Amino acid sequence: MELFVHDADIQDPDGGRDVLQFGKAEHPRLEKVWADARYEGSFVGWAKEKLGVAVEVVRKPQDQVGFAVLARRWVVERTFTWLLKCRRFARDYEELPETTEAWIYLAMSRIYLRRLARNANYPNTL
């Protein structure tokens, strides 16, 4: 799991550039990412031109009425929900992004370990 936390006063496309550069440096074979409509526009062109990464913007269907699960977007929302079950994330107590990253690593480790322990009695289900 890779994680990159930045200040909240950074606009999504600007923060997305930092995140994408970090991701490409850590994973040079990265070719494609999915993003929501906030990243449409110059960000898509910048990612392709500078990093060679295709950005696919996930949009809801035009005829959609009400709530519907969108491909790829649910993964992010589901992960946020898992993290918000940890009381530590109910409020933003941290002053440094690095501290927030450390807490997220701890929370996700707990989630993964609990999942592994639950499946330990059933090795064929992993």
pLDDT in tens, 10-50: 888 888 999 899 899 999 999 999 888 888 889 999 999 99
Could you give the CA distance from residue 41 to residue 89 in angstroms, rounded to a whole number?
Answer: 32
Radius of gyration of the chain from its Cα atoms, rounded to whole angstroms: 17
pLDDT in tens, 53-92: 999 988 877 888 887 777 777 777 888 888 888 877 777 7
pLDDT of residue 84: 84
Could you give the CA distance from residue 80 to residue 78 in angstroms, rounded to a whole number?
Answer: 5
Give the global pTM.
Answer: 0.68
Six-digit token string for 30: 């990265």
pLDDT of residue 126: 46
